Structure 1
Amino acid sequence: MKQTGNTILVTGGGSGIGEALAQRFHDNGNTVIVAGRRKEALERACEGRADMHAITLDIESAAGVADFAERLLAAHPALNVIVNNAGIMRFEALDQSRDLTDAEATVTTNLLGPIRLTNALIDHLVARPDAAIVNVTSGLAFVPLVTTPTYNATKAAMHSYTVSMREVLKGRVEVIELAPPAVQTGLTPGQESRPGYLPLEAFIDEVMALFAREPTPREILVERVGFLRRAEAEGRFDDTLRTLNEMAAKAHEG
């Protein structure tokens, strides 16, 4: 992926990983558009950065995604990179009947959202030079946290979707997967300071160094996420599943 001179869309760009990525991409000499539901948060993310722009997006709405794509391309026809980062993570209990509102919202936001947005922009991207799609998944796509089952499933699905997309678009659009470990962000309550989670700035530093490699890796994997990404290939899936969930339980307690 070209490092400077891009026009980059980052969804979920008003906070957390999305905001940090957007600001680093901007500071590397790119025009960046941040998108999300909360206009105020998007505008705060852009403060002091002349080539950062905010556009509201309702990622849960098919009509909203289509409308957003039209507005985006009208305002920024040079767009050549999209970062599908917007996502939600909800805790769910599988051992009892429950209201499925959280599960359904997670599927819509984390899976249908990026599929719909990429579909709305793909004809434009295949015609652009130096085009790239970055899909943000999770280490939990490879080893699940049992308290967030739908989140894990959507990220596993996006990993598979990304593999297919990479093959189909080979030679036309670069397709990159970014799979974070547990990072100190506001994704879940209290996560910003949860012990054992990777500090956001340290995570972004490592991510940007990986993006700068030539060629750009097809999977952006910071060192800490290798514990999950390679668990099955290294024959330690069951041990990793147990260890991950024990660690998560202790982090929530402490």
Structure 2
Amino acid sequence: MNEEYGLAEALHKLGNKVIISGRNKERLEETINANPGMSAVELNIQDPANVKSVAQQLIEEYPDLNVLFNNAGIYVPDDPSDVVDEEVLVQTVTTNLLGPIRMASALLGHLKSKEEAYIINTTSILGFVPVARGAIYSATKAALHSYTLTQRYILKDTSVRVLEIAPPLVQTQMINYDPNAMPLVPFIEETIQVLGTDTDEVLVEEAKMYRNNPGPNEGVFVNQVNDMLTGQ
């Protein structure tokens, strides 16, 4: 299974028409060749002009499109106690937060014209329990969670439902296949199962303790997790 497009492959196998996107043309072609019937479009989520043009291309080429799955994300370790790396800051915020907002904005008019449509935003448990060495990433996921809540509210009287997938740490290249993280295949299988329910928040069991943490004393658990990760 291609880890980058694992959920897309799972949805494709269930009979959905899936169009994947990304900047790496070779990887896109490799994925659609392995999944006959799947389509692909090149997209640079960091480029506002490209987001608009690709959205228009999707509307023209796939008029039945009724689901936007915002799954793009990059993670680069950072140190909030030192001078911020401007490139890491801008790329992470642009990809993880501005990208999903811009993509939804570009497609919303089309989605609202459908009898039933969905925006699915992928956040992270790190939006609820941030890690110190991934402060920027964690902050973007917390912000996307907040945006998802307001987006869901403002669209509640339309045909567009807004869902959120908040994964736990999953064994992927993004975190160097951390053996303590949830294996990819069980994560995808459980996520697909929960997507089939009527929930607005798609959470696997392993994510629930982190999702439930925010509250008056949320810093206690955040500190415990970071102490464990740093070996203190």
Q: Structure 2 CA distance, aligned partners of 1:156 and 1:238?
A: 15
Worse-matched range after superposition: 91-100 or 25-34: 91-100
Matches within 5 A, 1:1-254: 16=3, 18-171=4-157, 172-188=159-175, 190=176, 192=177, 194-213=178-197, 215=198, 217-233=199-215, 237-249=218-230
Q: Structure 2 CA distance, aligned partners of 1:86 and 1:99?
A: 21
- Which runs of no fewer than 5 residues in structure 1 stay unpaired? 1-13
Alignment partner of 1:225: what SS?
helix
Identical residues among aligned pairs (%): 39
Alignment partner of 1:170: what SS?
coil
Give the structure-1-normalised TM-score. 0.86
Alignment partner of 1:94: what SS?
coil
Q: Structure 1 CA distance, aligned partners of 2:187 and 2:213?
A: 21
- Which runs of no fewer than 5 residues in structure 2 stay unpaired? none
Q: Structure 1 CA distance, aligned partners of 2:99 and 2:2?
A: 18
CA shift in 2, pair 1:79/1:196, >3 Å: same
Alignment partner of 2:99: what SS?
helix
CA shift in 2, pair 1:67/1:98, >3 Å: same
Which amino acid is the alignment partner of residue 181 of structure 2?
Answer: Y
- Alignment check: 8 A CA contact 1:91 1:148 kept: yes
- Alignment check: 8 A CA contact 1:140 1:152 kept: yes
Q: Structure 2 CA distance, aligned partners of 1:207 and 1:77?
A: 27
Return structure 1 stretches of 4+ with deviation > 3 angstroms.
Answer: none
Which amino acid is the alignment partner of residue 204 of structure 1?
Answer: I
Q: Structure 2 CA distance, aligned partners of 1:98 and 1:232?
A: 26
Q: Structure 1 CA distance, aligned partners of 2:2 and 2:37?
A: 18
- Alignment check: 8 A CA contact 1:35 1:57 kept: yes
- Alignment check: 8 A CA contact 1:15 1:41 kept: no
Q: CA deviation at 1:200?
A: 0.5
Q: CA deviation at 1:247?
A: 3.4
Alignment partner of 1:176: what SS?
strand
User: Over aligned residue pairs, what C-alpha RMSD do you find?
Assistant: 1.6
- Alignment check: 8 A CA contact 1:30 1:51 kept: no
Deviations 1:73-99 (CA, angstroms, capped at 9, x unpaired) = 121111000110001011111222243
